[in-house]
Protein backbone atom coordinates (compact mmCIF):
# COMPACT_ATOMS: atom_id res chain seq x y z
CA UNK A 1 0.00 0.00 0.00
CA UNK A 2 0.86 3.66 -0.19
CA UNK A 3 0.97 5.55 3.06
CA UNK A 4 1.25 9.33 3.24
CA UNK A 5 2.61 10.73 6.47
CA UNK A 6 4.09 13.81 8.06
CA UNK A 7 7.27 13.22 10.04
CA UNK A 8 8.26 15.71 12.70
CA UNK A 9 11.93 15.69 13.72
CA UNK A 10 13.06 17.27 16.97
CA UNK A 11 16.35 18.82 18.02
CA UNK A 12 18.00 15.45 18.64
CA UNK A 13 16.77 13.75 15.45
CA UNK A 14 16.81 16.59 12.93
CA UNK A 15 20.45 16.07 11.86
CA UNK A 16 20.28 12.29 11.46
CA UNK A 17 19.91 10.59 8.04
CA UNK A 18 16.80 8.77 9.22
CA UNK A 19 14.97 8.52 5.90
CA UNK A 20 18.09 7.07 4.26
CA UNK A 21 18.36 4.49 7.07
CA UNK A 22 14.66 3.66 6.66
CA UNK A 23 15.26 2.80 3.00
CA UNK A 24 18.19 0.54 3.96
CA UNK A 25 16.33 -1.29 6.74
CA UNK A 26 12.99 -1.81 5.01
CA UNK A 27 11.86 -2.71 1.52
CA UNK A 28 9.87 0.48 0.99
CA UNK A 29 9.97 3.19 -1.63
CA UNK A 30 10.34 6.57 0.08
CA UNK A 31 9.22 9.67 -1.78
CA UNK A 32 9.66 13.05 -0.09
CA UNK A 33 6.94 15.48 -1.21
CA UNK A 34 7.66 18.43 1.03
CA UNK A 35 10.25 19.33 3.63
CA UNK A 36 11.13 22.21 5.89
CA UNK A 37 14.17 21.87 8.08
CA UNK A 38 15.42 24.35 10.68
CA UNK A 39 18.13 23.76 13.27
CA UNK A 40 15.73 22.92 16.11
CA UNK A 41 13.13 20.92 14.18
CA UNK A 42 12.10 19.56 10.80
CA UNK A 43 8.89 18.62 9.03
CA UNK A 44 8.81 16.16 6.13
CA UNK A 45 5.84 15.02 4.04
CA UNK A 46 6.69 11.47 2.98
CA UNK A 47 5.02 8.84 0.83
CA UNK A 48 5.86 5.23 1.67
CA UNK A 49 5.09 2.48 -0.82
CA UNK A 50 5.45 -1.22 0.00
CA UNK A 51 3.72 -4.27 1.51
CA UNK A 52 1.29 -3.53 4.34
CA UNK A 53 3.33 -5.35 7.02
CA UNK A 54 6.57 -3.74 5.92
CA UNK A 55 4.97 -0.30 6.09
CA UNK A 56 3.60 -1.04 9.57
CA UNK A 57 7.06 -2.13 10.71
CA UNK A 58 8.68 0.90 9.09
CA UNK A 59 6.32 3.29 10.92
CA UNK A 60 7.00 1.50 14.22
CA UNK A 61 10.74 1.82 13.55
CA UNK A 62 10.42 5.56 12.83
CA UNK A 63 8.63 6.07 16.13
CA UNK A 64 11.32 4.11 17.93
CA UNK A 65 13.90 6.54 16.47
CA UNK A 66 12.02 9.37 18.18
CA UNK A 67 10.30 10.69 15.06
CA UNK A 68 6.72 11.86 15.41
CA UNK A 69 4.58 10.16 12.73
CA UNK A 70 1.18 11.60 11.78
CA UNK A 71 -1.21 10.97 8.91
CA UNK A 72 -1.09 13.88 6.44
CA UNK A 73 -4.34 15.13 7.92
CA UNK A 74 -2.35 15.46 11.18
CA UNK A 75 -4.98 15.50 13.93
CA UNK A 76 -8.24 13.90 12.85
CA UNK A 77 -9.64 13.43 16.35
CA UNK A 78 -11.29 16.76 17.17
CA UNK A 79 -12.93 18.06 20.31
CA UNK B 1 -26.03 30.69 -7.86
CA UNK B 2 -22.70 29.08 -7.01
CA UNK B 3 -19.52 31.08 -7.43
CA UNK B 4 -17.23 28.24 -6.33
CA UNK B 5 -14.33 28.03 -8.76
CA UNK B 6 -12.12 25.17 -7.59
CA UNK B 7 -10.20 23.47 -4.83
CA UNK B 8 -6.77 25.06 -4.64
CA UNK B 9 -3.61 23.91 -2.86
CA UNK B 10 -2.59 26.44 -0.21
CA UNK B 11 1.07 25.58 -0.75
CA UNK B 12 1.74 25.17 -4.48
CA UNK B 13 -1.44 26.70 -5.94
CA UNK B 14 -2.39 23.64 -7.99
CA UNK B 15 -6.15 23.64 -8.68
CA UNK B 16 -8.46 20.62 -8.50
CA UNK B 17 -12.10 20.04 -9.49
CA UNK B 18 -14.82 20.18 -6.84
CA UNK B 19 -14.73 16.64 -5.48
CA UNK B 20 -14.36 15.00 -2.07
CA UNK B 21 -10.63 15.69 -1.80
CA UNK B 22 -8.54 17.46 0.78
CA UNK B 23 -4.82 17.26 0.03
CA UNK B 24 -2.65 18.16 -2.92
CA UNK B 25 -1.29 15.14 -4.79
CA UNK B 26 1.98 16.94 -5.43
CA UNK B 27 3.00 18.54 -2.18
CA UNK B 28 0.51 17.25 0.45
CA UNK B 29 -0.63 20.84 1.03
CA UNK B 30 -4.22 21.35 2.24
CA UNK B 31 -6.87 22.24 -0.34
CA UNK B 32 -9.00 25.34 0.08
CA UNK B 33 -12.18 26.45 -1.73
CA UNK B 34 -11.66 29.45 -4.03
CA UNK B 35 -14.47 31.58 -5.43
CA UNK B 36 -15.13 33.98 -8.30
CA UNK B 37 -16.21 36.94 -6.20
CA UNK B 38 -16.69 39.16 -9.25
CA UNK B 39 -19.90 37.32 -10.06
CA UNK B 40 -21.45 38.66 -6.85
CA UNK B 41 -20.88 42.30 -7.66
CA UNK B 42 -24.13 44.23 -7.32
CA UNK B 43 -25.99 41.00 -6.52
CA UNK B 44 -24.94 40.02 -3.03
CA UNK B 45 -26.01 43.07 -1.03
CA UNK B 46 -26.79 43.92 2.59
CA UNK B 47 -30.47 44.18 1.62
CA UNK B 48 -30.49 40.68 0.12
CA UNK B 49 -28.93 39.19 3.24
CA UNK B 50 -31.26 41.09 5.55
CA UNK B 51 -34.32 39.85 3.64
CA UNK B 52 -33.48 36.24 4.46
CA UNK B 53 -34.26 34.03 7.51
CA UNK B 54 -32.04 34.36 10.58
CA UNK B 55 -29.78 31.37 9.93
CA UNK B 56 -26.16 30.93 8.83
CA UNK B 57 -27.45 30.22 5.31
CA UNK B 58 -28.30 33.87 4.71
CA UNK B 59 -24.73 34.05 3.32
CA UNK B 60 -25.11 30.92 1.17
CA UNK B 61 -23.47 32.45 -1.92
CA UNK B 62 -20.22 32.45 0.08
CA UNK B 63 -20.53 28.79 1.06
CA UNK B 64 -19.40 25.88 -1.14
CA UNK B 65 -22.73 24.27 -1.97
CA UNK B 66 -24.50 24.36 -5.35
CA UNK B 67 -28.16 24.29 -4.39
CA UNK B 68 -30.10 25.02 -1.22
CA UNK B 69 -28.84 23.49 2.03
CA UNK B 70 -30.34 20.15 3.03
CA UNK B 71 -28.68 19.64 6.40
CA UNK B 72 -28.81 22.06 9.32
CA UNK B 73 -31.11 24.47 7.53
CA UNK B 74 -31.98 26.23 10.82
CA UNK B 75 -28.44 26.42 12.22
CA UNK B 76 -26.48 29.51 13.18
CA UNK B 77 -27.37 33.17 13.64
CA UNK B 78 -26.62 33.19 17.33
CA UNK B 79 -26.74 36.34 19.51
CA UNK B 80 -24.01 38.96 19.54
CA UNK B 81 -24.38 40.74 22.86
CA UNK B 82 -22.89 43.97 24.17
CA UNK B 83 -21.24 42.84 27.41
CA UNK B 84 -21.55 45.97 29.58
CA UNK B 85 -20.95 44.27 32.92
CA UNK B 86 -17.85 42.57 31.60
CA UNK B 87 -16.67 45.90 30.14
CA UNK B 88 -16.71 47.38 33.64
CA UNK B 89 -14.81 44.48 35.16
CA UNK B 90 -12.19 44.40 32.40
CA UNK B 91 -11.95 48.20 32.12
CA UNK B 92 -12.70 48.39 28.40
CA UNK B 93 -15.17 50.55 26.50
CA UNK B 94 -16.68 48.30 23.82
CA UNK B 95 -16.83 44.54 24.27
CA UNK B 96 -19.08 41.96 22.62
CA UNK B 97 -19.72 38.26 23.13
CA UNK B 98 -20.56 36.21 20.05
CA UNK B 99 -22.52 33.49 21.75
CA UNK B 100 -22.37 30.10 20.02
CA UNK B 101 -22.97 28.38 23.35
CA UNK B 102 -26.59 28.49 22.14
CA UNK B 103 -25.98 27.37 18.56
CA UNK B 104 -28.75 25.14 17.22
CA UNK B 105 -28.96 22.14 17.56
CA UNK B 106 -25.99 20.91 19.67
CA UNK B 107 -24.75 24.06 21.41
CA UNK B 108 -21.40 24.65 19.78
CA UNK B 109 -20.05 26.34 16.66
CA UNK B 110 -19.41 22.87 15.20
CA UNK B 111 -23.05 22.90 14.01
CA UNK B 112 -21.93 25.47 11.43
CA UNK B 113 -19.12 23.43 9.93
CA UNK B 114 -21.05 20.18 10.12
CA UNK B 115 -24.11 21.53 8.32
CA UNK B 116 -21.94 22.73 5.42
CA UNK B 117 -20.00 19.42 5.33
CA UNK B 118 -23.15 17.30 5.37
CA UNK B 119 -25.08 19.46 2.90
CA UNK B 120 -22.13 19.09 0.54
CA UNK B 121 -21.92 15.35 1.28
CA UNK B 122 -25.57 15.02 0.20
CA UNK B 123 -24.79 16.90 -3.03
CA UNK B 124 -21.88 14.51 -3.65
CA UNK B 125 -24.27 11.57 -3.17
CA UNK B 126 -22.88 10.17 0.11
CA UNK B 127 -25.28 8.16 2.27
CA UNK B 128 -22.96 7.72 5.25
CA UNK B 129 -21.05 10.39 7.16
CA UNK B 130 -18.36 10.02 9.82
CA UNK B 131 -15.97 11.83 12.13
CA UNK B 132 -13.43 11.18 14.87
CA UNK B 133 -14.17 13.27 17.93
CA UNK B 134 -14.09 13.36 21.71
CA UNK B 135 -16.87 15.92 22.12
CA UNK B 136 -18.60 18.72 20.25
CA UNK B 137 -17.95 17.44 16.75
CA UNK B 138 -19.29 13.96 17.56
CA UNK B 139 -22.56 15.34 18.91
CA UNK B 140 -22.99 17.69 16.01
CA UNK B 141 -22.36 15.08 13.30
CA UNK B 142 -24.67 12.61 15.05
CA UNK B 143 -27.53 15.10 15.51
CA UNK B 144 -27.37 16.77 12.12
CA UNK B 145 -27.03 13.40 10.34
CA UNK B 146 -30.05 12.03 12.25
CA UNK B 147 -32.19 15.01 11.25
CA UNK B 148 -31.13 14.63 7.63
CA UNK B 149 -31.71 10.87 7.49
CA UNK B 150 -28.04 10.07 6.94
CA UNK B 151 -26.27 7.13 8.51
CA UNK B 152 -23.38 8.18 10.76
CA UNK B 153 -20.29 6.72 12.41
CA UNK B 154 -18.39 8.38 15.22
CA UNK B 155 -14.91 7.17 16.21
CA UNK B 156 -13.75 7.79 19.77
CA UNK B 157 -10.95 6.63 22.05
CA UNK B 158 -12.43 3.69 24.01
CA UNK B 159 -11.95 5.25 27.45
CA UNK B 160 -13.97 8.41 26.82
CA UNK B 161 -16.29 9.46 29.67
CA UNK B 162 -19.88 8.22 29.59
CA UNK B 163 -21.34 11.71 29.33
CA UNK B 164 -19.48 12.43 26.11
CA UNK B 165 -20.52 9.10 24.58
CA UNK B 166 -24.14 9.89 25.47
CA UNK B 167 -23.97 13.23 23.68
CA UNK B 168 -23.56 11.38 20.37
CA UNK B 169 -25.18 8.02 21.15
CA UNK B 170 -28.62 9.46 21.85
CA UNK B 171 -28.92 10.37 18.16
CA UNK B 172 -28.62 6.76 17.05
CA UNK B 173 -25.15 7.15 15.57
CA UNK B 174 -22.84 4.13 15.43
CA UNK B 175 -20.10 4.73 17.95
CA UNK B 176 -16.80 2.92 17.51
CA UNK B 177 -14.50 3.01 20.52
CA UNK B 178 -10.87 2.32 19.64
CA UNK B 179 -8.47 0.90 22.18
CA UNK B 180 -4.98 2.25 21.59
CA UNK B 181 -2.55 5.13 21.93
CA UNK B 182 -3.84 8.45 20.64
CA UNK B 183 -1.54 8.57 17.62
CA UNK B 184 -2.52 5.07 16.52
CA UNK B 185 -6.23 5.82 16.88
CA UNK B 186 -5.68 8.97 14.83
CA UNK B 187 -3.87 7.11 12.07
CA UNK B 188 -6.52 4.38 11.92
CA UNK B 189 -9.17 7.06 11.35
CA UNK B 190 -7.16 8.37 8.41
CA UNK B 191 -7.01 4.86 6.93
CA UNK B 192 -10.74 4.27 7.46
CA UNK B 193 -11.52 7.59 5.82
CA UNK B 194 -9.42 6.62 2.80
CA UNK B 195 -10.85 3.13 2.47
CA UNK B 196 -14.61 3.43 3.00
CA UNK B 197 -16.83 5.47 0.73
CA UNK B 198 -17.98 7.80 3.46
CA UNK B 199 -17.97 11.54 3.86
CA UNK B 200 -15.51 11.84 6.73
CA UNK B 201 -16.24 15.44 7.73
CA UNK B 202 -12.76 16.45 8.83
CA UNK B 203 -10.91 14.36 6.24
CA UNK B 204 -12.16 14.03 2.64
CA UNK B 205 -14.74 16.83 2.87
CA UNK B 206 -12.64 19.02 5.18
CA UNK B 207 -12.24 21.93 2.72
CA UNK B 208 -16.06 22.26 2.57
CA UNK B 209 -16.48 21.63 6.30
CA UNK B 210 -14.00 24.33 7.27
CA UNK B 211 -15.77 27.00 5.19
CA UNK B 212 -18.76 26.77 7.54
CA UNK B 213 -16.77 28.65 10.19
CA UNK B 214 -16.85 31.78 8.03
CA UNK B 215 -20.51 32.27 8.94
CA UNK B 216 -19.44 32.99 12.53
CA UNK B 217 -17.43 35.91 11.18
CA UNK B 218 -20.13 37.14 8.77
CA UNK B 219 -22.66 37.24 11.58
CA UNK B 220 -20.37 39.26 13.83
CA UNK B 221 -20.00 41.92 11.14
CA UNK B 222 -23.69 42.05 10.22
CA UNK B 223 -24.72 42.17 13.88
CA UNK B 224 -22.29 45.01 14.55
CA UNK B 225 -24.28 46.95 11.95
CA UNK B 226 -22.18 45.90 8.94
CA UNK B 227 -18.91 46.77 10.61
CA UNK B 228 -15.77 44.74 11.25
CA UNK B 229 -14.51 44.87 14.85
CA UNK B 230 -11.03 46.22 15.63
CA UNK B 231 -10.09 43.13 17.66
CA UNK B 232 -11.34 39.52 17.69
CA UNK B 233 -10.20 36.85 20.15
CA UNK B 234 -10.61 33.29 18.83
CA UNK B 235 -10.13 29.90 20.53
CA UNK B 236 -7.80 27.58 18.62
CA UNK B 237 -7.65 23.80 18.36
CA UNK B 238 -6.67 22.99 14.75
CA UNK B 239 -6.55 26.74 14.10
CA UNK B 240 -9.19 26.55 11.38
CA UNK B 241 -11.80 28.87 12.95
CA UNK B 242 -9.12 31.52 13.38
CA UNK B 243 -8.20 31.46 9.68
CA UNK B 244 -11.84 31.41 8.57
CA UNK B 245 -12.84 34.45 10.61
CA UNK B 246 -10.01 36.27 8.86
CA UNK B 247 -11.23 34.99 5.48
CA UNK B 248 -14.80 36.10 6.28
CA UNK B 249 -13.65 39.64 7.06
CA UNK B 250 -11.53 39.85 3.91
CA UNK B 251 -14.45 38.61 1.79
CA UNK B 252 -16.87 41.19 3.20
CA UNK B 253 -14.32 43.94 2.57
CA UNK B 254 -13.78 42.70 -1.00
CA UNK B 255 -17.54 42.65 -1.59
CA UNK B 256 -17.89 46.18 -0.23
CA UNK B 257 -20.15 45.08 2.62
CA UNK B 258 -17.90 46.49 5.36
CA UNK B 259 -15.02 48.96 5.59
CA UNK B 260 -11.52 47.69 6.27
CA UNK B 261 -10.96 48.36 9.99
CA UNK B 262 -7.58 46.64 10.02
CA UNK B 263 -9.05 43.97 12.31
CA UNK B 264 -6.44 42.29 14.49
CA UNK B 265 -6.98 38.58 15.21
CA UNK B 266 -5.84 37.03 18.49
CA UNK B 267 -5.54 33.29 19.13
CA UNK B 268 -6.36 31.67 22.47
CA UNK B 269 -5.11 28.32 23.80
CA UNK B 270 -4.76 26.54 27.12
CA UNK B 271 -1.18 26.47 28.41
CA UNK B 272 -1.35 22.65 28.61
CA UNK B 273 -1.87 22.50 24.83
CA UNK B 274 -0.58 25.66 23.20
CA UNK B 275 1.52 24.75 20.16
CA UNK B 276 0.17 27.62 18.05
CA UNK B 277 0.42 30.24 20.82
CA UNK B 278 4.02 29.17 21.54
CA UNK B 279 4.97 29.49 17.86
CA UNK B 280 3.47 32.99 17.68
CA UNK B 281 5.19 34.09 20.88
CA UNK B 282 8.52 32.74 19.67
CA UNK B 283 8.11 34.30 16.24
CA UNK B 284 8.42 30.89 14.59
CA UNK B 285 6.51 29.40 11.66
CA UNK B 286 7.02 25.77 12.57
CA UNK B 287 4.48 24.32 14.96
CA UNK B 288 6.08 21.97 17.48
CA UNK B 289 3.70 19.08 18.32
CA UNK B 290 2.89 18.66 22.03
CA UNK B 291 1.18 16.13 24.28
CA UNK B 292 -2.02 17.81 25.47
CA UNK B 293 -2.61 18.19 29.21
CA UNK B 294 -5.46 20.57 30.00
CA UNK B 295 -9.08 20.63 31.13
CA UNK B 296 -9.89 22.41 27.85
CA UNK B 297 -10.42 19.12 26.03
CA UNK B 298 -12.21 20.63 23.04
CA UNK B 299 -9.05 22.61 22.20
CA UNK B 300 -6.60 19.80 22.99
CA UNK B 301 -5.07 19.21 19.57
CA UNK B 302 -1.35 18.65 19.99
CA UNK B 303 -0.41 18.80 16.30
CA UNK B 304 -2.79 21.30 14.72
CA UNK B 305 -3.28 20.96 10.95
CA UNK B 306 -3.96 24.67 10.40
CA UNK B 307 -1.50 25.87 13.01
CA UNK B 308 0.89 27.35 10.49
CA UNK B 309 -1.88 29.25 8.68
CA UNK B 310 -3.42 30.46 11.95
CA UNK B 311 -0.07 31.78 13.18
CA UNK B 312 0.36 33.65 9.89
CA UNK B 313 -3.12 35.20 10.07
CA UNK B 314 -2.41 36.32 13.62
CA UNK B 315 0.93 37.86 12.68
CA UNK B 316 -0.22 39.48 9.43
CA UNK B 317 -3.32 40.99 11.04
CA UNK B 318 -1.29 42.61 13.81
CA UNK B 319 -2.77 40.37 16.50
CA UNK B 320 -1.11 38.08 19.02
CA UNK B 321 -1.61 34.73 20.76
CA UNK B 322 -1.62 33.85 24.44
CA UNK B 323 -2.38 30.90 26.66
CA UNK B 324 -3.90 30.52 30.12
CA UNK B 325 -3.66 27.95 32.92
CA UNK B 326 -6.51 25.64 33.86
CA UNK B 327 -7.20 27.79 36.96
CA UNK B 328 -7.51 30.87 34.78
CA UNK B 329 -9.91 28.95 32.54
CA UNK B 330 -12.18 28.13 35.48
CA UNK B 331 -12.00 31.73 36.75
CA UNK B 332 -12.97 33.05 33.33
CA UNK B 333 -15.91 30.62 33.01
CA UNK B 334 -17.19 31.97 36.33
CA UNK B 335 -16.52 35.57 35.35
CA UNK B 336 -18.61 35.26 32.17
CA UNK B 337 -21.40 33.47 34.03
CA UNK B 338 -21.50 36.00 36.88
CA UNK B 339 -21.26 39.11 34.70
CA UNK B 340 -23.27 38.21 31.62
CA UNK B 341 -25.34 35.16 32.56
CA UNK B 342 -23.67 32.96 29.96
CA UNK B 343 -22.35 29.54 30.90
CA UNK B 344 -19.59 28.52 28.51
CA UNK B 345 -17.48 25.40 28.33
CA UNK B 346 -13.73 25.31 28.92
CA UNK B 347 -12.96 26.61 25.40
CA UNK B 348 -14.89 29.79 26.25
CA UNK B 349 -12.96 30.05 29.51
CA UNK B 350 -9.74 29.89 27.51
CA UNK B 351 -10.90 32.65 25.17
CA UNK B 352 -12.10 35.03 27.86
CA UNK B 353 -9.07 34.25 30.05
CA UNK B 354 -6.75 35.11 27.17
CA UNK B 355 -8.75 38.26 26.36
CA UNK B 356 -8.28 39.46 29.94
CA UNK B 357 -4.58 38.70 29.78
CA UNK B 358 -4.11 40.53 26.48
CA UNK B 359 -5.94 43.60 27.81
CA UNK B 360 -3.79 43.59 30.95
CA UNK B 361 -0.64 43.26 28.82
CA UNK B 362 -1.73 46.25 26.76
CA UNK B 363 -1.76 44.14 23.59
CA UNK B 364 -5.46 44.91 23.13
CA UNK B 365 -6.24 48.61 23.72
CA UNK B 366 -9.04 49.44 26.16
CA UNK B 367 -10.84 51.96 23.97
CA UNK B 368 -11.52 49.97 20.79
CA UNK B 369 -14.13 47.37 19.81
CA UNK B 370 -13.38 43.81 20.94
CA UNK B 371 -15.30 40.63 20.09
CA UNK B 372 -14.81 37.54 22.25
CA UNK B 373 -15.68 34.28 20.48
CA UNK B 374 -17.63 32.01 22.80
CA UNK B 375 -18.01 28.77 20.89
CA UNK B 376 -19.43 26.11 23.23
CA UNK B 377 -21.77 25.44 26.15
CA UNK B 378 -20.83 24.98 29.82
CA UNK B 379 -23.31 22.19 30.45
CA UNK B 380 -20.98 19.94 28.43
CA UNK B 381 -17.95 20.40 30.69
CA UNK B 382 -19.52 20.62 34.13
CA UNK B 383 -16.76 18.51 35.69
CA UNK B 384 -14.34 21.40 35.07
CA UNK B 385 -16.16 23.79 37.40
CA UNK B 386 -17.94 21.53 39.86
CA UNK B 387 -15.38 22.15 42.61
CA UNK B 388 -15.34 25.91 42.02
CA UNK B 389 -19.00 26.39 42.89
CA UNK B 390 -20.04 27.03 46.48
CA UNK B 391 -22.11 24.22 47.98
CA UNK B 392 -25.64 25.33 48.92
CA UNK B 393 -26.39 26.06 52.59
CA UNK B 394 -28.86 23.57 54.05
CA UNK B 395 -31.35 24.71 56.70
CA UNK B 396 -34.39 23.16 58.35
CA UNK B 397 -37.79 24.14 56.89
CA UNK B 398 -38.44 26.89 59.47
CA UNK B 399 -38.63 30.64 59.00
CA UNK B 400 -36.61 31.00 62.19
CA UNK B 401 -33.66 29.15 60.64
CA UNK B 402 -33.99 31.17 57.45
CA UNK B 403 -34.07 34.47 59.40
CA UNK B 404 -30.95 33.40 61.28
CA UNK B 405 -29.13 32.56 58.06
CA UNK B 406 -30.10 35.88 56.49
CA UNK B 407 -29.08 37.83 59.58
CA UNK B 408 -25.66 36.27 59.29
CA UNK B 409 -25.22 36.70 55.54
CA UNK B 410 -27.26 39.75 54.64
CA UNK B 411 -27.86 41.74 57.86
CA UNK B 412 -29.37 44.67 55.97
CA UNK B 413 -31.94 42.62 54.05
CA UNK B 414 -32.82 40.74 57.21
CA UNK B 415 -33.32 43.94 59.22
CA UNK B 416 -35.53 45.46 56.50
CA UNK B 417 -37.72 42.35 56.23
C1 LIG C 1 -16.00 24.74 21.49
C2 LIG C 1 -14.89 24.82 20.50
N3 LIG C 1 -14.34 26.00 20.24
C4 LIG C 1 -13.32 26.14 19.36
C5 LIG C 1 -12.78 25.06 18.70
C6 LIG C 1 -11.60 25.30 17.78
O7 LIG C 1 -11.75 24.91 16.50
P8 LIG C 1 -10.60 24.89 15.39
O9 LIG C 1 -10.22 23.44 15.26
O10 LIG C 1 -11.31 25.41 14.18
O11 LIG C 1 -9.45 25.72 15.82
C12 LIG C 1 -13.34 23.80 18.92
C13 LIG C 1 -12.81 22.63 18.21
O14 LIG C 1 -13.04 21.50 18.45
C15 LIG C 1 -14.42 23.66 19.85
O16 LIG C 1 -14.98 22.48 20.12
ZN1 LIG D 1 0.29 21.50 -3.60
Q: Would you say residue B293 has pLDDT above 90?
A: yes
Contacts of B200 in chain A (CB under 8 A): 76
Q: Would you say residue B182 has pLDDT above 90?
A: no
Q: What is the pLDDT of residue A50?
A: 96
Q: What is the pLDDT of residue B141?
A: 98
Ligand nearest to the CA of A72: 2
Q: What is the pLDDT of residue B158?
A: 86
For residue B310, the ligand 1 atom closest to its alpha carbon is 11
Q: What is the pLDDT of residue B237?
A: 97
Local confidence band at B67 (pLDDT 50, 70, 90 cut-offs): very high
pTM above 0.90, yes or no: yes
Cross-chain CB nearest to B286 (options A4, A41, A45): A41
Count other C-beta atoms under 10 Å from residue B260's C-beta: 11
Q: What share of chain A is helix, strand, coil (3-state, %, to 5)?
A: 25, 40, 35
Q: Would you say residue B398 has pLDDT above 90?
A: yes
Secondary structure letter of residue B303 according to DSSP? S
pLDDT tens-place string over residues A31-57: 999 999 988 899 999 999 999 999 999
Local confidence band at B25 (pLDDT 50, 70, 90 cut-offs): very high
What is the Å distance from ligand 1's center to B348 Cα? Answer: 10
- Domain annotation for chain A: domains and CATH numbers: 2-71 (3.30.70.260)
Distance from CA of B385 to the nearest CA of A (A): 18
Q: Would you say residue B181 has pLDDT above 90?
A: no
B344 Cβ below 6 A of ligand 1: no
B307 Cβ below 6 A of ligand 1: no
A17 Cβ below 6 A of ligand 1: no
pLDDT tens-place string over residues A7-38: 999 999 999 999 999 999 999 999 999 999 98
With a CB cutoff of 8 Å and minimum separation 6, the contacts of B200 are A76, B129, B130, B131, B189, B192, B193
- Domain annotation for chain B: domains and CATH numbers: 80-106+210-388 (3.40.50.1100), 393-417 (no CATH)
Local confidence band at B417 (pLDDT 50, 70, 90 cut-offs): confident
Surface-to-core class of residue A5, CB atoms within 10 Å of its CB (0-12 exposed, 13-18 middle, 19+ buried): buried
pLDDT tens-place string over residues B246-282: 999 999 999 999 999 999 999 999 999 999 999 999 9
Amino acid sequence: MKLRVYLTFHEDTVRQPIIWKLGKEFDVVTNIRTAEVKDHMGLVGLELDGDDEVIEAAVAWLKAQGVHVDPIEQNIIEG
Amino acid sequence: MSIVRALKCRECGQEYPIEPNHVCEFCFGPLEIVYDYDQLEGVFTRELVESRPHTMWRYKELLPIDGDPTVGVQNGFTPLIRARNLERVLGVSELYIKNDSVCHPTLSFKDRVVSVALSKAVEFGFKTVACASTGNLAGSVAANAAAAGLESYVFIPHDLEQGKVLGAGIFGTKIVGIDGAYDDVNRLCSEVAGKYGWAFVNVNVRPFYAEGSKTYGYEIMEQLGWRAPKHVVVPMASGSLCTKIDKAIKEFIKLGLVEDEGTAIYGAQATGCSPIAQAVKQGSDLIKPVQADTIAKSLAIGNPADGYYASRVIRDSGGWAEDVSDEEVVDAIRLLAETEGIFTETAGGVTLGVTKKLIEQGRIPRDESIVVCITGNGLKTQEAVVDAIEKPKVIRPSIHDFDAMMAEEQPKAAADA
